[in-house]
Amino acid sequence: MGKHLSLTAADAHKLGGYRADPAGKPKGGLVVIQEIFGVNHHIRAVCDQIAAEGYVAVAPAVFDRFQRDFESGYSPDEVAHARGLLGGLNWDHMIADMTAAKDEMKGAGPVGIIGFCMGGTASFLASCRIPGLAVAVCYYGGAINKFMTEKPKCPVQMHFGEKDESIPMATVEEIRKHQPQAEIHIYPGAPHAFSNNDRPNFRQEATDLAWSRTKEFLAKNMK
């Protein structure tokens, strides 16, 4: 359904990405931000799923700044390698790259952002630092607490697994305290990355509920 594309950030950095378009007139657009595994099969499938719901979806390759065309699976060695790349992460650069993806969808209607794990944190940060976003949806953003005193410029929805081994419930409650306006959902018994059906942590029931809430949130705010 989708296609690969090239984006250009405001600082002239060129990065890759993946775009999926709906069959008819779009309801709007969504920037889709990856986990640490690149714009891989899972993220492309998420883009295709979003397009099937009537939105344009663009996933920028935010690792292209330091590891061009990076794409990973989920074996222990691949996970370790992907984590090792996080040292190259620069949030300001990511803001620029997410903005380039947002600008790619001019004319599609309102534009929001959705992200997973690292991308969940990036989506929250985008809601605070990128003007003009209609909505931000954050799935298990492990570093949101580092930025939780910042003020979003758009409605924010967050999803966390109760049994996330890397995001304690105490951290989620801290986020809730600093972001009382955010819609925050916790999924009983769900681990980290519960919505990625390419990983062993996948939980169908939690994923279906989270996605239904996401669709409702988008319909309410993407106007």
* Domain of residue 124, residue span: 3-221
Q: What is the pLDDT of residue 223?
A: 86
What is the mean predicted confidence (pLDDT) over 6-15? 98
Q: How many separate domains does the chain show?
A: 1
Q: Are strands 3-8 and 14-20 parallel, antiparallel or unpaired?
A: antiparallel
Residue-wise pLDDT tens digits, 73-84: 999 999 999 999
12-22 residue pLDDT tens:
999 999 999 99
Q: Residue 131: its pLDDT value, please?
A: 97
pTM of the model: 0.97
Reference 50, options 36, 70, 33; nearest CA is: 33
Look at residue 87 and tell me whether its pLDDT is greater than 90: no
- Predicted confidence (pLDDT) per residue in 99-129, tens digit: 999 999 999 999 999 999 999 999 999 999 9
| Mean pLDDT (the chain, rounded) | 97
Beta strands in 24-177 (DSSP E): 28-33, 55-60, 111-116, 136-139, 156-161
Q: What is the crossing angle of helices 118-129 and 91-104, to 10°?
A: 80
pLDDT at 1 over 80: no
Say if residues 78 and 50 touch (Cβ distance below 8 Å): no
| 10-to-58, 101, 104, 119 alpha-carbon distances in Å | 17, 11, 12, 20
pLDDT of residue 79: 94
DSSP state of 64: T
172: CATH: 3.40.50.1820
Half-sphere exposure of 145 (CA within 13 A, CB side): 15
Query: Is residue 38 over pLDDT 90?
Result: yes
Q: In what order do the strands lie in the sheet with 55-60?
A: 3-8, 14-20, 55-60, 28-33, 111-116, 136-139, 156-161, 183-187
pLDDT for the residue 208: 98
C-alpha dihedral, 128 to 18 to 204 to 111, nearest 10°: 40
- 172-181 pLDDT tens trace: 999 999 999 9
pLDDT above 70 covers a percentage of the chain that reads: 100
